[in-house]
């Protein structure tokens, strides 16, 4: 597998993967990534900010994520818990994998690659949030060493469970 920054011509492939995830979440009764989000505008914004990445199997886009090293304002306040650290951190957003590649260890490899990039930038904390009912994402995070830290609130007021992983 290869990783690279996304380009605008990747948007249809990225959106295909996101639509798969939206369908899966809806079928599981999880009210996350519904109401036309994430959409092409969000992905285009990630691309313009150089924060969007794709995972390739040969030339096929099989995964996507946004990785930011900027402060996430919604992480400034955490409730019913605490972050593990106050150091600089990276944030993973909009991570998704093509249905055909689920259960094959690709998510773990994606997380491992992100960790290596962070360490190379001397960033030793990764934070991420997800919907409380998104059991598959929570299981993946915990399996990959992320620790539940508490609850954060998005700008629209919806709550999310927050996780952090410290890197050594």
pTM reported for the whole predicted model: 0.95
Alpha-carbon 132 to chain mean position: 15
Integer Cα distance of 107 and 144 in angstroms: 9
Integer Cα distance of 66 and 59 in angstroms: 19
Integer Cα distance of 28 and 10 in angstroms: 27
- Is pLDDT of 35 > 90? no
Task: Parse the chain into domains and list their residue ranges.
Answer: 2-166
| Span 39-83, pLDDT tens digits | 999 999 999 999 999 999 999 999 999 999 999 999 999 999 999
Radius of gyration of the chain from its Cα atoms, rounded to whole angstroms: 15
Third-level CATH fold of 2-166: Aminopeptidase (3.40.630)
Which among 68, 63, 47, 44 is positioned nearest to 2, based on CA atoms?
A: 63
- Separation of first and last alpha carbons in the chain: 25
- Is pLDDT of 149 > 90? yes
Q: What is the pLDDT of residue 67?
A: 98
Q: What is the pLDDT of residue 139?
A: 96
| Span 90-112, pLDDT tens digits | 999 999 999 999 999 999 999 99
């Amino acid at each position: 597998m290869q990783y690279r920054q996304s380009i605008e011509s990747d948007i249809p492939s990225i959106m295909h993967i996101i639509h798969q995830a939206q369908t899966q979440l809806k079928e599981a009764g999880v009210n996350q990534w519904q109401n036309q989000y994430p959409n092409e505008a969000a992905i285009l914004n990630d691309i313009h900010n150089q924060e969007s990445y794709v995972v390739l199997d040969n030339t096929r886009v099989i995964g996507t994520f946004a990785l930011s090293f900027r402060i996430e304002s919604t992480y400034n306040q955490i409730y019913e818990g605490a972050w593990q650290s106050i150091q600089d951190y990276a944030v993973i957003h909009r991570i998704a994998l093509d249905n055909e590649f689920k259960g094959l260890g690709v998510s773990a490899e994606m997380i491992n690659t992100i960790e290596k990039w962070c360490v190379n930038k001397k960033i030793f904390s990764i934070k991420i949030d997800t919907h409380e009912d998104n059991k598959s994402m929570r299981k993946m995070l915990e399996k990959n060493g992320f620790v539940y830290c508490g609850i954060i609130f998005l700008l629209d007021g919806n709550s999310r469970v927050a996780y952090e992983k410290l890197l050594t």
